[in-house]
A and B are shown apart, each in its own frame.
Chain A
Amino acid sequence: MPSALVIAEHDNHALKGSTAHAITAAREMGGEIHVLIAGSGCRAVAEEAAKLEGVGKVLLAEAPALEHPAAEDLAALAVALAESHDHIVAPASTFGKNFMPRVAALLDVAQISDISAVIAPDIFERPIYAGNAIARVQSKDPVKVITVRGTAFPSARPGASRAPIETIDPGQETGLSRFLGAELAQLARPELTAARIIVSGGRGMQSGDNFKLLESLADKLGAAVGASRAAVDAGFVPNDYQVGQTGKIVAPELYIAVGISGAIQHLAGMKDSKVIVAINKDEEAPIFQVADYGLVGDLFQIVPALDAELAKKLANR
């Protein structure tokens, strides 16, 4: 029976949402799903993965060096498991993008990056030119190494059964690379790629201080706060706020773009959102062409008014 190996993204405590999206994509490829959890002290993550619908087996590789796995070590581990699988799948997050091309190169096969659809077990669609074209490609390789665009596939949900967990050899450390540290932003709000609603600001916000207007709005909606590249380059907000081709690709249920003109690079990162609202003083701004609802006017009047209206309406529920 064909099978897919999904390499899970996690923080040793919980699975990242990206993994559940990748599992859904792997299920569409038609085989049994094996999930690799490589980490340190991460049995709880294996238990979580074992409960997801469609998972046939969880492979648990634990070693101190895998707490922050180096691309070199993770790739070696995946390659060692590759032989018995038809598809090697990981999320197209910075996690998967980092080590998966190594896996493909070591197996001497192509990688199919950032797939947005599975057409057949060997045929996939992927966005190119920042999402301005969609390529449908067929792989001639015996093993398909694939990264998955999370926003294009729904999350795998916990199912009724529990897959077996098998402990495997974590392999040798290559010693080529050492982890020195991480500075992860402490967010009081949901993470951009996981948020159901996103409120984003652009150059029109004029200053970082004015993002407080958006934060207030976000807190009423349980939303994440994002930004366009223009706002990041202007120094209004840190770069992990950035939504777009060179930032994060998001597809929330509701995306509210405030003072964002809608450059191609920004649209590439958010145009798959279910509902888009645009607030901009320039009625010719390209953002309105993709927005389901547009409000033309001064954001410094509209946003406080919207904030007040939301406070009133949401309080009544």
Chain B
Amino acid sequence: MKVLVAVKRVIDYNVKIRVKADKTGVETANVKMSMNPFDEIAVEEAIRLKEGGAATEIVAVSIGPQACQETIRTALAMGADRGIHVLTDQPVEPLAVAKLLKAVVAAENPQLVILGKQAIDDDCNQTGQMLSALLGWPQGAFASKLKLGADEATVTREVDGGLETIAVKLPAVVTADLRLNEPRYASLPNIMKAKKKPIDQKTPEALGVDIAPRLVTLQVTEPVKRQGGKKLGSVEELVEKLMTEAQVI
């Protein structure tokens, strides 16, 4: 079974982001970029499926500028077999990404597509579900456990207040939640080997997809800062403040 994984290049999760002074967005120049952490989990899950014998080939797809090749290389170093890079310098919204991935799916015919549930930059949490709808496939979103059968997958999903388990017909789209697995680090020999693995480059035009944005970002600002920092001397003082000043108990 062929598995497709989608990987996004985002500002590294350890970087403290800075909003641009002109309010047009977030500073990305000279900022460390990495693979979206939820996508790392998606890649890891695909590799485990291959190691367990359920998957035969893993194709990692990324969409964006030339530098996305680094993100694909990371997936290849972890254990994906080959890459597809859809090159565009335009910003792409989740709907456009889903349409591009649909075109890639049409060419590759995977039985399973795994994506991170959410990218940590725009926090949209849309692409996997959108792709699944466009393909007319079932979805298993926010997966914390995945088991593949012959023509069905069993997905345990993280929902508010607990877990839910569903069976979805294959082919299907699964989105990875935090506790699906712990992604491995690529070893040095595997990083070297990954340099020889092929990455095929395509464009939105060649795939016949209109990626024009539907939303206009009017401004990006910093959130209102809390005025914190007051320290008290005793629990008696705290309870007093909570009762009389804050009036919350």
Contact = CB atoms under 8 A, between A and B. Distances in A.
Interface of A: 68, 70-72, 75, 93-95, 97-106, 108-114, 123, 126-141, 174-185, 187, 191, 193, 197, 221, 239-240, 245-246, 248, 253-254, 264, 271, 274-277, 283, 288-296, 302, 305-306, 309-310, 313-314
A108 B120 CA distance: 24
Given A110-B214, A183-B163, A94 B142 contact: yes
A292 B120 contact: no
B208 to A, nearest CB: 15
Contacts of A133: 17, 19, 26, 220-223
A179 B219 CA distance: 42
B248 A253 contact: yes
Contact size range, B: 35 or more
B202 to A, nearest CB: 21
B214 A141 contact: yes
B125 interface: yes
A179 B164 contact: yes
Given A94-B158, A309-B236, A313-B243, A290 B133 contact: no
B130 interface: yes
B235 A132 contact: no
A293 B226 CA distance: 12
Interface string B144-173: 000000000010011111111111110000
Interface stretch (B47-55, B90-98, B184-192): B90-98
13 contacts: A72-B138, A97-B129, A101-B133, A105-B98, A110-B95, A129-B26, A176-B138, A177-B138, A193-B160, A276-B228, A293-B238, A293-B242, A294-B231
A136 B218 contact: yes
Contacts of A283: 231
A138 B216 contact: yes
B162 A182 contact: yes
B238 A313 contact: no
